[in-house]
Structure 1
Amino acid sequence: MEADTVRIDGKAGGKRAFRYFDYVMAAFVAILLLSNVLGAGKVAEVDLPFVGLWPFGAGVLFFPISYVLGDVLTEVYGYAHARRCIWAGFVALLFMAFMSWVVVALPPAANWGNQAAYEAIFGQVPRIVFASIAAFWAGEFVNSYVLARMKIWTKGKALWTRTIGSTIVGQGVDSALFYPLAFLYADGWTTQLVITVALTQWALKTGWEALLTPVTYAVVGFLKRREGVEVFDTGTDFSPFARGGNAADGAIAP
């Protein structure tokens, strides 16, 4: 625990207003949306030494940043605040899917010749949209739960064990849901390709989390010092559907 922070439990943390929480939540949702728009449906390929061509989901390059921010949210602000962000991201994904459907479906102007390209980029297959939203929801809640529990078990020490450990489990759930739900039995996707890409995505995301550990330490340390608290989720209701505390009802960070 940071020397200049005060320890509070999860219930008090859920009712507290924080200086930087809104900024972290905005970054979390923005990266989530951009990753799903630009990278989720593309399979890229790299030529690995001694292995050869190896396929992977292109979104894996940036989507893990949302998991880093998810770890920061739970570690700094507690599970209740992380839960709010996950639901905010969930609703944002639903709106993005709805907006994409409406915009693509609108009849194009006669002199606008980009409809086919627009449909190719933004025309979302309902199955992929459902898979993406379901995988995000389940994976993020598992990630946050595991990290919050591990923080109690480790007494707030060895941050790297819970950031990496929670990512292994959370990303495992995410990958295990998304690729089979989105692509199993789809044209061009063999069962082997689905398994290969899912496992590769899981390994790469976990690897990214490990590589970004120094960044996570820096961000977590900065935010804890600035917010002045250390949240431990003792007595926290970990149901995804529980109502978090209202910040207006709790203490306001000085």
Structure 2
Amino acid sequence: MINEVLWIVFALINFTMVTIIYRIFGKQGLFVWIGMSTVVANIQVVKTIEMFGLTATLGNIIYGTAFLATDILNEKYGKQEAKRAVWLGFATLISMTVMMQISLYFTPAPNDVAQGAMKTLFEFLPRVAGGSLLAYIVSQYVDVLIYAKLKALLPDNKWLWLRNNGSTMISQLLDSFVFCFVAFFGEFPANVWFEIFITTYFIKFIVAALDTPFLYLAKQFPRRQ
């Protein structure tokens, strides 16, 4: 149970940090957080853990905070600002990927101790990298569009939970499908592929549910640029 308890505490810490960053730095803080979280999530995803009887990747939590950040932007600043944040995260992720790939081609010094670890973290298979990039831009864009649509249909604050959970849980389902399809379809038997897809989404579903109170908290903060 250690991993399960630590995972929940880790999720609460991540979402708390998003709200603190927003409280202190306003909209610009969320833009920075989205860029940072996309990079960190793609580093953490290399590590796998066992939790709830499932094998999961560690990056799902901080990746989920990017959806919370775009939902806050959508709620308080509108769809266009949320879209800008999504493209910022995408550009940041591509920039990091390009720079780290080039850095791996430098011949390390004889006493270097970092090259092996850097290759483990940043050397990628094209299908996995392509799946990650495509899943990010598709799911985040869909999240923004669904949230904006729900906000237009159900603008009252009592439906804030539905706007948040509806947009995030649907977009996370799409994110899991796109990534698993591009990265793993045909690499595993169909039943194994389906299990990977379901377990990936299950973890993201829990993360999406946990972020709801933090959106309510951020909603109460003064609107800052």
TM-score (norm 2): 0.82
CA distance in 1, matches of 2:189, 2:59: 20
SS at match of 2:31: helix
- Flag the 1:42–1:193 CA change in 2: closer, same or farther, 3 A: farther
Structure 2 counterpart of 1:22, from 28, 45, 58: 28
Give the corresponding residue for 1:59.
59
Contact 1:57–1:197 (Cα < 8 Å) also in 2: no
Amino acid at match of 2:212: T
SS at match of 1:109: coil
CA distance in 2, matches of 1:96, 1:135: 17
1:115-163 Cα deviation digits (max 9, x unpaired): 2332122212222111111000000010010000000111233100010
How many residues matched? 200
Structure 1 counterpart of 2:49, from 44, 51, 55: 44
Which runs of 4 or more aligned residues in structure 1 lie more than 4 Å from their structure 2 counterparts after TM superposition? none
Contact 2:71–2:164 (Cα < 8 Å) also in 1: yes
Greater strand share, structure number: 1
- Can you give the 5+ residue segments of structure 2 that lack an aligned partner in the other structure? 1-24
Deviation of 1:31 after TM superposition, in Å, equals 1.1
Contact 2:40–2:59 (Cα < 8 Å) also in 1: no
CA distance in 2, matches of 1:33, 1:57: 15
Q: How does 1:79-118 map to 2 (within 5 A)?
A: 79-118=79-118
CA distance in 1, matches of 2:206, 2:120: 31
TM-score (norm 1): 0.73
Amino acid at match of 1:176: F
Aligned-residue CA RMSD (Å)? 1.9
Pairing 1:203–2:211 present: no
Greater helix share, structure number: 2
SS at match of 1:112: coil
Q: Which has the higher contact order (CA 8 A, sep 6+)?
A: 1
CA distance in 2, matches of 1:212, 1:202: 16
Deviation of 1:177 after TM superposition, in Å, equals 0.3
